[in-house]
Amino acid sequence: MAAILLAEDDDSMRSFLKKALERAGHTVVDASQGDEALTELQLREFDLLLTDIVMPVMDGIELARRAAEIDPEMNIMFITGFAAVALNAANQAPEDAKVLSKPFHLKDLVQEVDRLVA
């Protein structure tokens, strides 16, 4: 299965998503802020960056831009209630990043993750 870096500032949401992805067989490293996730990206390789957009210190879009520079082959998926922000070309989010809008069903998240890393 996949090595996933999960960046989400909401503690309960992060824990919930991590458990669901681990139950699906993935290895998940989690971070509560974008800058913490960036540190993890510099330490090891991941198949997928799964990130919220709105986070303190470094938002998910900046994290995704930096992640794409570190590893252009890594898949990126935004999980957000602000899909229009992620899809706005002016924010320079990686072009091939996927967006999963909140609220979503865990089944949909796991299916999309499995599809991206297949």
Query: Rounded CA gap, 74 and 69, in Å?
Result: 10
How far is 109 from 61, CA to CA, in rounded Å? Answer: 19
Per-residue pLDDT, 89: 54
Pick the closest to residue 87 from 111, 46, 53, 57 (CA basis). 53
| Residue-level pLDDT at 97 | 78
Q: What fold is seen in the domain 3-117?
A: Rossmann fold (3.40.50)
Spell out the per-residue pLDDT of the chain, length 118, in tens: 899 999 999 999 999 999 999 999 999 999 999 999 999 999 999 999 999 988 888 989 899 999 999 999 999 999 887 655 555 555 566 777 788 887 888 899 899 999 988 8
* Burial label, 31 (beta-carbon count in 10 A; 0-12, 13-18, 19+): buried
What's the pLDDT score for residue 103? 81
Return the closest-CA partner of residue 99 out of 68, 74, 76: 76
Domain ranges of the chain: 3-117
Q: What is the pLDDT of residue 71?
A: 95
